[in-house]
């Protein structure tokens, strides 16, 4: 059973006919897209994403256009739902899997020490330290670049991406502390 949020109840109008698209992902999350046409001819789309147990992850609704066909509105809603799901995915490092979220460690002795059995609290502490170190290094590099009188656009993009990933790593580790 889905636990509807405020956006659904604001959108709900039982007098208007609705076409619905529903999908259940492999991990149990549910996508619901509804489309309707108002008496004024405006096509409206509701997008709901729910956790496996039914809790609302995201709900939103949009005005699409005058007399847009239901098929196109539902297709757009499905694409928007998948984009929302991609945005809400937890950070996954684009490099080989490790015990930490820091940059790729190549020193075998450091890797061996990291692979030792440790408690979850110790693991989170190491991950937090690594994430903070990477963030500070990326921030420092970006500040240095900002102080330069002339910057190559490719270098700027590279440093911006590094800083963005460092921020994502820190947020991911902080979520680990909260859960």
* Number of domains making up the chain: 2
- Which residues have CB under 8 Å from 27's CB, separation 6+? 52
71 found inside a domain? yes
Domain-embedded: residue 23? yes
Q: Does 99 reside within a domain?
A: no
Contact 125, 107 (CB under 8 A): no
**End position of a domain, from candidates 26, 58, 87:** 87
Which of 87, 121, 152 is the endpoint of a domain? 87
Domain that holds residue 75: 6-87
What pLDDT, on a 0 to 100 scale, did the predictor assign at position 148?
84
Give the tens place of pLDDT for each residue, 18-46.
Answer: 999 999 988 899 999 999 999 999 999 99
Backbone angles phi, psi at 92, to 5 degrees: -125, 120
pLDDT tens-place string over residues 130-163: 888 889 999 998 888 888 888 888 888 888 888 8
Tell whether 76 and 116 lie within a shared domain: no
Same domain? 172 vs 129: yes
Residues 82-102: what's their mean pLDDT? 64
Pairing of strands 18-24, 42-50: unpaired
Q: What is the pTM of this model?
A: 0.51
| 66-70, 134-138, 174-178: the lowest-pLDDT one | 174-178
Provide the pairing of β-strand 18-24 with 30-37: antiparallel
Query: Residue 29, Cβ neighbours under 10 Å: how many?
Result: 16
């Amino acid at each position: 059973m889905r636990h509807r949020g405020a956006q659904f109840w604001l959108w709900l109008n039982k007098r208007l006919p609705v076409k619905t698209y529903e999908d259940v992902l492999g991990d149990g999350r549910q996508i619901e897209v509804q489309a309707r046409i108002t008496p004024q001819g405006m096509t409206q789309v509701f997008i709901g994403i729910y956790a496996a147990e039914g809790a609302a992850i995201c709900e939103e609704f949009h005005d699409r256009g005058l007399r847009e066909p239901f098929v196109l509105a539902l297709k757009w809603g499905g694409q928007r739902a998948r984009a929302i799901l991609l945005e809400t995915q937890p950070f996954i490092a684009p490099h080989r899997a490790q015990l930490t979220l820091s940059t790729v460690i190549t020193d075998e002795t450091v890797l061996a020490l990291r692979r030792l059995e440790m408690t979850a609290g110790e693991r989170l502490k190491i991950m937090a330290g690594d994430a903070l170190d990477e963030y500070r290094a990326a921030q420092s590099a970006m500040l240095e670049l900002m102080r330069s009188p002339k910057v190559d656009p490719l270098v700027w993009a590279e440093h911006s991406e590094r800083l963005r990933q460092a921020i994502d790593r820190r947020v991911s580790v902080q979520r680990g502390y909260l859960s």
